[in-house]
Structure 1
Amino acid sequence: MPHSNARTVAASHADSQQDDARMFDLAPVSLWLEDYSGVKQLLEEWRGAGVTSLREYLEEDLERVSACSSRIRVIKVNRKTLSLFEAGSLTELIAGLDRIFRADMLKTHIDELVQLWNGELQFGSNTVNYTLSGKRLDIQLKGSVLPGHEEQWDRVLVAIEDVTERETARRELAVSEAYARGLFEHSPVSLWVEDFSAVKQLLEDVRRQGIKDFRTFTDVHPEFIARCLSEIRVIDVNRHTLELFGAPDKKTLLANLGDVLREEMQESFREQLIDLWHGRVFQQREVVNYSLSGDELHLHLQFSVLPGYEDDWSQIQVALTDITARKRAEAYLEYLGKHDVLTKLYNRSFYVDELNRLERKGPFPVTVIIIDLNGLKAANDQLGHAAGDALLRRAGEVLGKAVDRPACAARIGGDEFALLLPGTEERDAKLVLESIENLLEVNNQFYTGLPLHFSMGLATSEQGERMEAVVKRADLRMYEAKRAYYKAMKAEGEG
């Protein structure tokens, strides 16, 4: 019986060994059984020679890493290993190890060796191998000195997992993220990524209160707009944003947002909130911001909730295009359409439109003062048009200071001007005439050369009177004043 039990134990042990061999060979990952005893011997020699930091020692000369690698002896591999590395047999695999383990894995091999040097019996790394046909393999390697072989390291089991697909996807994602980041950073427009989640919560709170008319709600509670504005969190801005707003860096810009987004922006932000209230998550509008140096910036704003964030608005993109130059050009063109370039007063076109408007809407009475610049023709003939233009500019200075809105001063001809004074009685209009005379006196004291002198006629509208008739009466009185001026000049010359 004892002999029978011994045979049973031996048979059981043999079966177990066969099972282990089958499991090794059929494992779904690449397995290598290797002998690291030569590596251990080399490391001990270096330690005995006074090496204290293996990492520094190996990094000084990568040939030392190669010396370690050459000491590793492959005992056996499983089927998965042969298929993974495209080898027909263990012999073919070993013969091609120099193609499998290339120079670019030496640095990661240092990590494995340092772990063994530090007394760890398990090691791992993420590295690159190659199949015998040259195809790149990203692998995750884990090694372990088998129990009972801790002294010699003559049996080390290495498991290699092919993570090429995962690493390729990771690299592609990194490239994609770098590309997207590059587009964001180098965009020729100002880009902001903002978190509007707190704003969304505030709007939902208002909706839960039963509010239907959000515009009326903001009329009654303007402080709600300021609160929403204060709840916006800026996540990121690009380089062009810093350039546009004159900020040296993101920290400075974000610390001074109060200077950029001033109170007058609240009305446009209110319209933005109203659009969001009605579900419009893509918006365009023109807004005014300010640079950190205080310059006014006219901007075209495009606001959009980024895809995937429609439920919480935690990722908002705002694109700002600088339209300041265009706005200035439009304003200048509008100015030119209504003003005389030389005198800076309104032009005849504006004067005619304003006269028609006053006839329709008032306020009445309307007083008209027609003014003629005396001596312009003589100045042009005797001294040239530059002298005449100087007189016209001075006339513009005087008349521009004589009235304030809603009254207006216009140049309606070569040397002819008109003042329109809505809601002004004749006695008040005569005070304007006195003011002009005083301004003329000051102007003539300030400027040397030709004196500035006006002939002026005044008329105030009567009930039901057409403005055309009022202008005609003022014009006649101006000519009376002009005749009197030249008569006086002639008498003075004869005297």
Structure 2
Amino acid sequence: MSQPTPTAAATDFESIFELAPVSLWLEDFSELKRFFERLRSQGVQDLAAHLAQHPEQVAEGAASIRVLRVNAKTLSLFGASDAGHLLANLGQVFRDDMFPQVVAEWSQLWNGQHEFVNQTVNYTLDGRRLDVLVRARILQGHEADWDRVMVSLEDVTDTTRNLQRLANSEQYARDLFEHSPVSLWVEDFSAVKQLLDEARRQGITDFPTFIRVHPEFVTRCMQEIRVVDVNQLTLGMFGAQTKGELLSRLDQLFRGEMVDSFSDQLIDLWQNKLVQHREVTNYTLNGDKLHIHMQFSVLEGHEKDWSLVLVSLVDITARKKAEAYLEYLGKHDVLTRLRNRAFYADELNRLARRGPWPVSVLIVDLNGLKRVNDEEGHAAGDAMLRRAGEVLGKAVDSPACAARIGGDEFALLLPASDARAAVAVQERIQSLLEMNNQFYPGQPLTLSMGSATCQDGESLDAAVSRADQAMYAAKARYYQSQDLNRRTGPT
């Protein structure tokens, strides 16, 4: 095969250069090479460091480069009518934030390379910013003086902007994650899914029964969860200084009641419920109990392997405490801390329906409350009521209960207790009264009590009425003795 003639080869080069689909520039770097040689003769060793200290020399070096030719793609890219138009306005093309990037290109030549690659910024003649990928090479045979350098420019503006938008989007998502007002956890549940799939392959169909019989399976699943990331609010919520500290002490956060709630979570996952809501209990690193509303979601695109899960935790401890306090107020007398009349009425109805039998009832009245209120004030009367609450509260344990059912009147309900058990409770109350009066000097605390016992098939209301009558009889005896003592004086 014959070789093309020099004239034909030159013609082919002209065609390739002119019709290339990328911007091509044929440039003369010989003056730049001499500029470098002058710097070396002055003792410069690190070009980048030198130009950082003498930025005015960047413009000097750039001005030394001579553009010999450009192709058609270059003219259209930069919006020039012809080569003369472009070359006359190179100051508009190479300016501003291009110059710091030039140093990176020159450093490659300074260090002995005959080519460089860099991404930089140029400008069209109408002022549009172009992000361009620059590739340059000293042509073969011109390595000694750099008088022929081929430079290609690829317009990567759209790609760069798309990457920037992606980076901005990622940063936006990261900021949303880090500064979310709720605790966020990114977790990998893929190993948990593998354990559940293996259980299916082994023929497990009744999963709830399986994990009740094999609680170690639940523990294994908890251990296989991998926490990928947590946000800043999570650290504050759980009392951790760093993410490393938190992740190294997860066993202190998820324990106790959490095992039961995680079992429920596994059952939902077994049933392919990939979005879940539930209230759970966690603990801070200091051991404080947290009530949490948890939302669990396998993220879209990860349904097959559960490799990316988002868990959000909202601290509802304050709400739970408020609810508990409201529930307490609904069932307790605030002054004495005993059960209140509403709870007493509900419990009386429940015992009347279900027992267990026999049920004994004690009706108790605080003696002398009106006189204390009249003579010493209601604060002193409230103090006597609180003391009565202390005594009666310590006299019985669940399922028995003590309640304040009126101003100075109390009731004790004793399920599964016969008359002998009721007498034993009265004796315990008397013993506690003696200790209470020793602890609180001054006005002694005295109580009048009456009891009755109800058998299965009898009316509990009737037993309450009998106990109430017995209490009034005891109270009459108390006041009769008090009147006798006032008349006879001390013996």
Which bracket does the TM-score occupy, shorter chain normalised?
A: over 0.9
Deviations 1:27-75 (A, max 9, x none): 1111110000000001001101111111110111221111110000000
Pair 1:255-2:220 in alignment: no
Give yes or no for the alignment of 1:160 onto 2:153. Answer: yes
Which amino acid in the other structure matches residue 244 of structure 2?
A: K
Q: Deviations over 1:431-473 (max 9, x none)?
A: 1111111111111111122111000111111342110011111
Contact 2:437 2:444 survives alignment (8 Å): yes
For the Cα contact (< 8 Å) 2:253–2:284, is it kept in 1? yes
1:449-468 matches, cutoff 5 A: 449-468=442-461
C-alpha distance in structure 1 between counterparts of 2:456 and 2:67, whole Å: 117
Aligned counterpart, 1:234: 227
Does 1:297 find its partner at 2:290?
Answer: yes
Greater mean deviation of Cα atoms: 65-74 or 461-470:
461-470
Structure 1 CA distance, aligned partners of 2:442 and 2:331?
31
Give the corresponding residue for 2:180: 187
Counterpart of 1:15, as a letter, is A
The answer to whether the aligner puts 1:54 opposite 2:47 as a matched pair is yes
Cα offsets for 1:156-177 (capped at 9, x unmatched): 0011111111111100001101
Q: Trace 1:57-96 onto structure 2 (pairs within 5 A).
A: 57-96=50-89
Q: Corresponding residue for 1:330? A: 323
Kindly provide the amino acid, as one letter, of the partner of residue 69 in structure 1: A
CA contact (8 A) 1:302 1:320 kept: yes
Match of 1:12 in 2: 5
Q: Distance in 2 between matches of 1:416 and 1:299?
A: 41
Matching residue of 2:144: 151
Is the 1:286–1:298 Cα contact (8 Å) retained in structure 2?
A: yes
Distance in 2 between the 1:406 and 1:76 partners?
101
TM-score, length of structure 2 as denominator length: 0.98
The gaps in structure 1 that reach 5 residues or longer are 1-7
Query: Match of 1:3?
Result: none
In 2, the alpha carbon distance for the partners of 1:417 and 1:84 equals 96
Structure 2 Cα separation of the partners of residues 416 and 209 of structure 1: 65
The amino acid across from 2:443 in the alignment is L
Q: 1:88-140 CA deviation, whole Å, 9 max, x = no partner? A: 11111111111111120111110111111111101111111111111111111
Deviations along 1:142-192, one digit per CA (max 9) or x if unpaired, are: 110111111100000011111111111100001101111111111111111
Aligned partners of 1:120, 1:99: CA distance in 2, in Å? 29
Contact 1:302 1:318 in 2 (8 A): yes
Amino acid at match of 1:230: Q
Match of 2:278 among 268, 272, 285: 285
Equivalent pair of 2:117/2:134 in contact (CA under 8 Å): yes
- Determine which of 99, 102, 106 is the counterpart of 1:106: 99
User: Identity, % of aligned pairs?
Assistant: 58
Partner of 2:346: 353
Match of 2:367 in 1: 374
- Of 457-466 and 265-274, more deviation after overlay is shown by 457-466
State the AA in 1 paired with 2:266.
Answer: L
Q: CA deviation at 1:263?
A: 2.6
Q: What amino acid is the match of 2:359?
A: V
Question: How far does the alpha carbon of each residue in 1:288-314 deviate from its partner, in whole angstroms, 9 at most, with x for none?
Answer: 111111111111111101111111111
CA deviations 1:307-353 (Å, max 9, x no partner) are: 11111111100111111111111111111111111000001111111
- Which moves more between the two structures, 209-218 or 152-161? 209-218
Moved beyond 2 Å, runs of 4+:
none
Q: How far apart in 2 are the matches of 1:382 and 1:250?
A: 64
> Any conservation in 2 of the 1:62–1:106 contact (CA below 8 Å)?
no
1:119 is paired with a residue of what secondary structure?
A: coil
Whether 1:434 aligns to 2:434 is no
Instruction: Encode CA deviations 1:257-302: one digit per residue, 9 max, x unaligned.
Output: 1111113211111111111111111111111111111111111111
CA distance in 1, matches of 2:156, 2:55: 26
Matched residues, number: 487
Which letter maps to 2:269? L
What is aligned with 2:135? Answer: 142
Amino acid at match of 2:238: F
The structure 2 residue matched to 1:420, chosen from 413, 427, 430, is 413
Which whole-Å CA distance do the structure 1 matches of 2:117 and 2:214 have between them? 63
| Amino acid corresponding to residue 150 of structure 1 in structure 2 | E
* Matching residue within 377, 387, 393 for 2:380: 387
Q: What corresponds to 1:4 in structure 2?
A: none
2:395 corresponds in structure 1 to 402
C-alpha distance after superposition, 1:232-275 (max 9, x if no partner): 11111111111111111111111111111113211111111111
SS at match of 1:154: coil
**Which amino acid in structure 2 is aligned with residue 301 of structure 1?**
M
| Alignment-derived partner of residue 115 in structure 1 | 108
Runs (5+) with no aligned partner, structure 2: none
Within 2, Cα distance between the matches of 1:463 and 1:104? 96
Asked whether 1:267 is paired with 2:260, we answer yes
CA distance in 2, matches of 1:99, 1:439: 99
Counterpart-to-counterpart distance in 2, 1:53 and 1:352: 93
Pick closer, same or farther for the CA change 1:105–1:335 going to 2, 3 Å: same
Q: 1:205 aligns with which of 198, 217, 223?
A: 198
RMSD: 1.1
TM-score by length of 1: 0.97
Contact in 2 for aligned 1:105/1:127 (Cα 8 Å): yes
Separation in 1, partners of 2:365, 2:352: 24
